[in-house]
Chains A and B, each alone.
Chain A
Amino acid sequence: MSLSISDNLAASLIAAPIMLPSLAGTMALIFRRRRRMVAAGISIGSTALQVLIAVALLLRASQSDPTPYAMGDWPAPFGIVLVLDQLAAWMLLLTSVVGFAVATHAALTKLDRKGWNFHPIFQFQLLGINGAFLTGDLFNLFVFFEVLLIASYGLILHGQGARRLTSGVQYVVVNLTGSTLFLVGLGILYGVTGTLNMADMAARGAQLAQGDRGLFLAGGLVLIAVFALKAALLPLHLWLPRAYSSTAPAVAALFAIMTKVGAYSIIRTTPLIFGDVAEPILLPAALGTIALGFAGMLAARGLRDMAAFGLIGSTGTLLVAIALFDSDGLAAALYYLPHTTLAAAFLFLTVDLVVRWRGVEGDAIVPTPRFAGASLLAFLFLAGGVALAGLPPLSGFFGKLLILDAALVSPHAAWIWGVILVTSLIAVVALARAGSTVFWKHDETPELPEDREPPRLVQALPCLFLLALLVGLTVFAGPATRYTQGTAAQLLDTPLYLRSVLGTASPPSPAAQGDAP
């Protein structure tokens, strides 16, 4: 008896990453006006607990096949399922650690006091992201996308200001259009296959008649276009730099995950359901994204713009590895993915500290008088630059090495090698120029009158936490790559996923399509 209860609890743990933030968000809502310390405590505590849950789920997923969790106990193709596999657990862990760092940073820098609802919205954002990683149902993926988008609208406007509002309008309109396209793709896919469960759709998609196959792939490509919009792939990236550079940098640090939600959705749906149909489009677009992102870093006039363009470029690098769609490429991508997310979040948080501690000129890349705390910031910026550009000794170097190694078998290997190597150099140049201008050069104006309160060094703790994670990812590169290789193998083993989720390898009788002519 006790065994079955603990079994039930262990199974319910799969739903915990969705339940916990919704509970914490609602509780933080009570304390939004007074006792904000309590709200901040709830928020930070919830993210810390999510880290523990994610570790537990990761340990569990690494030992077993994909585990479905049927909501309301309705079996898979008819009810809604959450599916925990190695990929989902990996992404959950990444989300929770970034969430923990950003929540702590926001509380320490008092960003959460610039409006009333920071912590509730933040928790609902985590709810949407975690749900998108866990769900095994395409329509629920849409719903969780909407949840995380609605919360992101709130976060991107947090703190007000005309510039933030105009860029917020653009961001909302772009994402509304993206959601509409998402529904178009879903509609086509449902019309063709009569199901919305990913595993069921994979099984039925494989059995489609030749005539329906084209429509099915068209629906798939529409979906991939939406995911590429979220991931800011080349022609669809225009919304990102302005939105991310005009919002609060701490919020942008959390949004480093949001581009990865797009990348995750491509990894999740493409090998499983659509096959490698997107490869000829994805690869050139990803290469162009890298070039554009790192060239944008060179052109940036502010550190926030620079971090935003760096995020675009590194997401492009990630998508190159994904676009290979083989075991090595996916394993390399899954190692590079947490690295680039942590590096971008780390850089955004560092830039936030620069804006707060510098006194004048904000984040503009111009020389200013020396300011207190500059040497610590210079060290953090150096580490962030090394991480983002993918230089040794940090994990970005291994990640890029793995991607380049995986690209050797591709017919476009020369292009991939050329673009990644040249753009890495451009990124180094851009980061070195910005870093030396901001931290090294000092103009001749007299120092600021010291009536400002000195920077609180405790604010740098979340940054150092992310840096420690980057170092950890480097030191434990062996176990991490073994895990990502296992994940890639599991991802490409479609029959295993179908068997685990549906219980059988063959689809049930097509009841929903019984009226089709």
Chain B
Amino acid sequence: MEFLIATAIGALTWAGIYLSLRGRTFPVVLGVTMLSYAINLFLFAIGRLKVGAPPIFSEEAATYTDPLPQALVLTAIVISFGMSALVVVLSLRTFLETGTDQVDGEPDPAIDPLDGDRDEWIKRRNAHRIDMLGETRP
């Protein structure tokens, strides 16, 4: 089990670091999410791995797992989930605002399909925004 957990944490961390070093927001968001999964698994493991033992401390219990890491993981999950939601919304907003999902906000002519049509894109985006709001604006 130790091997499996360690491999899982390592693979998730590796993928997370690789993706979060990319230049576009979608892979970065995925990478940060994977990193936080890896961390949650890691936090589970820091109280030592035990199978079938209750997470309580009692004088009678023959064996038990450390309950504190599970409480920590709970807090960490809440925080990282909220953060992921925030970064998703933020990158979506940046995409709508700048017309590209490059993290620096500058379209890359080599790979960006919107190259050259940026003004048209912003026009289309504005029209779309009006549709979404269900009202017309000057």
Using CB atoms and an 8 Å cutoff, list the residues of chain A in contact with chain B: 139, 143, 146, 150, 153, 157, 162-163, 165-166, 168-170, 172-173, 176-177, 179-180, 183-184, 186-188, 190-191, 194, 196, 511-517
The answer on a CB contact under 8 Å between A165 and B46 is no
Q: Is the pair A515, B82 in contact by a Cβ cutoff of 8 Å?
A: no
A515 touching B72, Cβ below 8 Å: no
- By a CB distance below 8 angstroms, the chain B residues around A150 are 82-83, 86
Complex interface residues of chain B between 48 and 92 (CB less than 8 A to chain A): 48, 50, 57, 63-66, 68-69, 72, 75-76, 79-80, 82-83, 86-87, 90-91
We find that the number of chain B residues with CB closer than 8 angstroms to chain A is 39
Contact of A173 among B32, B68, B80 (CB under 8 A): B32
Residues of chain B contacted by A153 (CB below 8 angstroms): 86, 90
Cα-based distance from A514 to B66 in the complex (angstroms): 9
* B43 at the binding interface (Cβ < 8 Å): yes
Assess the B66–A512 pair: CB atoms within 8 A.
yes
A-B contact pairs, 29 of them (CB 8 A): A143-B75, A150-B83, A153-B86, A153-B90, A157-B90, A162-B94, A162-B97, A163-B105, A165-B98, A169-B87, A169-B103, A170-B104, A172-B83, A172-B87, A173-B20, A173-B103, A176-B32, A177-B32, A179-B83, A180-B36, A183-B42, A183-B43, A184-B39, A187-B42, A187-B46, A187-B69, A190-B46, A515-B65, A517-B48
Do A162 and B57 have beta carbons less than 8 Å apart? no
Q: Does A166 lie within 8 Å of B103, measured CB to CB? A: yes
Binding site for A on B (CB under 8 A): 20, 25, 28, 32, 35-36, 39, 42-43, 45-48, 50, 57, 63-66, 68-69, 72, 75-76, 79-80, 82-83, 86-87, 90-91, 93-94, 97-98, 103-105
Given A166-B103, A173-B20, A191-B47, 15 more A-B residue pairs with CB atoms under 8 Å apart are A157-B90, A165-B90, A165-B105, A168-B90, A169-B91, A176-B32, A176-B83, A176-B87, A177-B32, A179-B79, A179-B80, A187-B43, A515-B63, A515-B65, A517-B48
CA distance A150 to B89 in the complex (A): 14
B97 lies within 8 A of A165 (CB):
yes
With known contacts A165-B93, A511-B57, A516–B48 Cβ distance under 8 A? yes
Chain B residue nearest to A192 (CB atoms) is B46
Question: Are B64 and A180 within 8 A (Cβ)?
Answer: no
Contact call B98/A183, Cβ cutoff below 8 A: no
What 4 pairs between A and B have smallest CB-CB spacing?
A166-B105, A191-B46, A165-B94, A187-B46
> In whole angstroms, what is the CA distance A170 to B91 when docked?
10
Q: Complex formed: what's the CA distance from A147 to B7 in Å?
A: 32
User: Chain B residue with minimal CB distance to A182?
Assistant: B39
Task: Report whether B69 and A169 are in contact in the complex, using a CB–CB cutoff of 8 Å.
Answer: no
Across-interface contacts of B35 in A (CB, < 8 A): 177, 180
Query: Chain A at the B interface: mostly helix, strand, loop or mixed?
Result: helix
What is the CA–CA distance of A516 and B49 in the complex, to the nearest angstrom?
A: 10
| Neighbour of A162 across the interface among B80, B83, B98, CB < 8 A | B98
Distance of A166 Cα from B39 Cα, bound (Å): 27
Q: Are B46 and A180 in contact (CB under 8 A)?
A: no
Main secondary structure of the interface of B (DSSP, over half): helix
Docked CA distance A191–B47 (Å): 6
A180 and B35 CA atoms in complex are apart in Å by: 7
Q: Which residues of A contact B105 (CB under 8 A)?
A: 162-163, 165-166
Q: How far is the CB of A172 from chain B (nearest CB, A)?
A: 5
- Cα A477 to Cα B65 in complex, Å, equals 54
A77 to chain B, nearest CB (A): 12
Let me know if B39 and A187 touch, CB within 8 A.
yes
Do A515 and B103 contact each other (CB < 8 Å), given the known contacts A146-B79, A179-B83? no
A184-B97 contact, Cβ under 8 Å, with A179-B79, A190-B68 = no
Residues of B within 8 A of A515 (CB): 48, 50, 63-66
Contacts of B91 in A (CB 8 A): 169
Give the complex CA separation of A153 and B88 in angstroms.
Answer: 13
Residues in A with CB closer than 8 Å to B63 are 515
Q: Which of B46, B57, B72, B86 contacts A188 (CB 8 A)?
A: B46
Chain A residues with CB under 8 Å of B104's CB are 166, 170
B132 CB → nearest A CB, Å: 17
Contact residue among A139, A146, A511, A516 (Cβ-Cβ distance under 8 Å from B72)? A139
Bound CA span A280–B71, Å: 36
| Cβ contact within 8 Å between B76 and A166 | no
A143, A169, A172, A194: which has the most chain B beta carbons within 10 Å? A169
Smallest beta-carbon distance A169→chain B, Å: 5
Cβ of A43 to closest chain B Cβ, rounded Å: 23
Which of B64, B80, B83 has the largest number of chain A CB atoms within 10 A? B83
| B39, A180: Cβ atoms closer than 8 Å | yes
Closest to B96 in A: A165
Q: Are B20 and A177 in contact, CB atoms less than 8 angstroms apart?
A: yes
CB–CB A172/B39 < 8 A: no
Chain B residues with CB under 8 Å of A157's CB are 90
- Which residues of B sit under 8 angstroms from A514, Cβ to Cβ? 57
> In angstroms, how far is the closest chain B Cβ from the Cβ of A246?
10
A183 to B75, CA, bound (A): 11
Determine how close the nearest CB of chain B comes to the CB of A148; give it in whole angstroms. 12
Q: Once bound together, how far apart are the Cα atoms of A166 and B104, in whole Å?
A: 6
Q: Closest CB-CB distance, A105 to chain B, in whole Å?
A: 26
Q: Which residue of A lies closest to B50 (CB)?
A: A515
A residues in contact with B65, CB < 8 Å: 515
Contacting residues, chain B, for A513 (C-beta < 8 A): 66
List the A side residues contacting B86 at CB < 8 Å. Answer: 150, 153, 172
Q: Is the CB of A172 within 8 A of B90?
A: yes
A224 to B35, CA, bound (A): 19
Please give, as numbers and ranges, the residues of chain A lying within 8 Å of B48 by CB-CB distance. 515-517
In the bound assembly, the distance between CA atoms of A148 and B82 in angstroms comes to 14
- Residue of B28, B43, B87, B98 near A166 (CB, 8 A) is B98
Which of B28, B48, B90 counts the most A-chain CB atoms under 10 A from its CB? B90
Q: Output the least CB separation between A97 and chain B (Å).
A: 30
Shortest distance in angstroms between A117's beta carbon and chain B's nearest beta carbon? 14
